[in-house]
Amino acid sequence: MTMQEAYQQGEKLLVQAQIPDARLDAWYLLEHVTGVSRAMYYAMPDKELSEEQADQYSDFISRRAAHIPLQHLTGEQEFMGLTFRVNEHVLIPRQDTELVVEEALKIMESCSEAEYPAGKADDSKKQDFRVLDMCTGSGCILLSVLYHAGKDKKCGNLKMAGTGADISEEALEAARINAELLNIEAEFIHSDLFDAAEGRFELIVSNPPYIRTDEISKLQDEVQGHDPWIALDGKEDGLYFYRKIISGAGGYLSDGGHLVFEIGFDQADAVSTLMRDAGFRDIMVKKDLAGLDRAVIGVYDR
Ligand code: GLN
């Protein structure tokens, strides 16, 4: 079978199964199986697949047609320009969540520039900057924050350290693998929220589970059927983890430390109020690319 024949057949089956991005998914799977990029493909659509590749491709296509998420087949998802390994134990990184990383990076850059021009502090004068990612899952937020903050000495005056916390051992294993593959130094701790956290952090980031329990069944099949329930379920009113994290954060933030949350599109008021009531100041709501409220940020004075 040629690449072109395989692709056309794959696309047809995914269209029949009403997979929303059928063409794209048929393509990604073919690329994953053959290692042939799109540009290379157009130069040689008649290249033959080996028998093994053809079998693997048709297996992927039938599983995708059964609505298994693409990322569970390829085992990876791109996020903030990095490739993360994913599996059924972690929430697949969403593009919306990149906003949380971008806001965290802005905070870190302004802290880095506060006392010295970019990258000018010698090692002894670098400011400790510890980042805690609460409910880290695949580690995608923490690792991309550390990666991008470290790139081009963007936060060159900071001595950064990162901790990811999660209650799921399986998620921590995925996060540790991602740290190793991306060659980023970070620690991952098994912790029920702050239980095993130690010390103070200049920044806490979190994309906690925030879907109301009775709304989970209304999510797309691929989300409710394949993303881990514990990564989605924000309990009765969806705010359970915000309450817990906000009330605990004061004990773990340094003076003037920042808290950055991802939120559901209709949670900005509730989460801002919880933060204000807990003594946070300078609370800001940020919108994602779709124009929906997606992040809330606040500062804590001890
Ligand atoms: N944004 C996720 C979704 O697609 C929910 C993630 C979460 O609960 N933190 O449903």
252 and 110 share one domain: yes
Q: Tokens representing 36?
A: 């042939």
Sheet with 158-166: list strands edge to edge. Answer: 187-190, 158-166, 127-134, 201-206, 253-262, 293-300, 280-287
Q: Which atom of ligand 1 is nearest to the CA of 219?
A: 10
| 160 is a domain residue | yes
- Taking only the tens place, the pLDDT of each residue in 147-160 is 999 997 789 899 99
For ligand 1, the distance from its centroid to the CA atom of residue 211, given in whole angstroms, is: 7
pLDDT at 122: 79
pLDDT at 206: 98
Q: Does residue 232's CB lie within 6 angstroms of at least one atom of ligand 1? A: yes
Q: Tokens representing 222?
A: 């691929």
In the predicted model, residues of the chain with pLDDT beneath 50 are none
pLDDT at 119: 65
Helices (H), the chain: 3-16, 22-34, 38-43, 51-65, 70-74, 98-113, 140-150, 169-182, 213-216, 221-226, 229-232, 240-249, 268-277
For ligand 1, the distance from its centroid to the CA atom of residue 154, given in whole angstroms, is: 30
pLDDT at 153: 77
Q: Does residue 267's CB lie within 6 angstroms of at least one atom of ligand 1? A: no
Cα gap 238→22, rounded to integer Å: 32
For ligand 1, the distance from its centroid to the CA atom of residue 290, given in whole angstroms, is: 15
Q: Does residue 194's CB lie within 6 angstroms of at least one atom of ligand 1? A: no
- Taking only the tens place, the pLDDT of each residue in 241-297 is 999 999 999 999 999 999 999 999 999 999 999 999 999 999 999 999 999 999 999
Nearest CA to ligand 1 atom 9: 209
51 and 137 share one domain: no
| 72 is a domain residue | no
212 and 244 share one domain: yes
ipTM (interface predicted TM): 0.90
108 and 184 share one domain: yes
Predicted TM-score (pTM) of this structure:
0.94
pLDDT at 45: 87
Q: Does residue 223's CB lie within 6 angstroms of at least one atom of ligand 1? A: yes
Going 176 to 178 to 181 to 185, the CA torsion angle's sign is negative
Q: Does residue 53's CB lie within 6 angstroms of at least one atom of ligand 1? A: no
Cα gap 2→139, rounded to integer Å: 38
39 and 82 share one domain: no
Q: Which residues pair with 84 in a beta bridge?
A: 77
Q: Does residue 100's CB lie within 6 angstroms of at least one atom of ligand 1? A: no
| 71 is a domain residue | no
Known binding positions for S-adenosyl-L-methionine: 166, 207
pLDDT at 224: 86
Nearest CA to ligand 1 atom 2: 232
20 and 101 share one domain: no
Q: Is 295 helix (H, G, I), strand (E, B) or coil?
A: strand
**Count of structural domains, the chain:** 2
87 and 233 share one domain: yes
What CATH number has the domain bearing residue 272? 3.40.50.150
Domain final position from 66, 100, 117: 66
188 and 257 share one domain: yes
152 and 285 share one domain: yes
Q: Which atom of ligand 1 is nearest to the CA of 234?
A: 8
Q: Does residue 209's CB lie within 6 angstroms of at least one atom of ligand 1? A: yes
Domain range for 94: 77-300
196 and 103 share one domain: yes
181 and 271 share one domain: yes
Q: Which atom of ligand 1 is nearest to the CA of 207?
A: 9
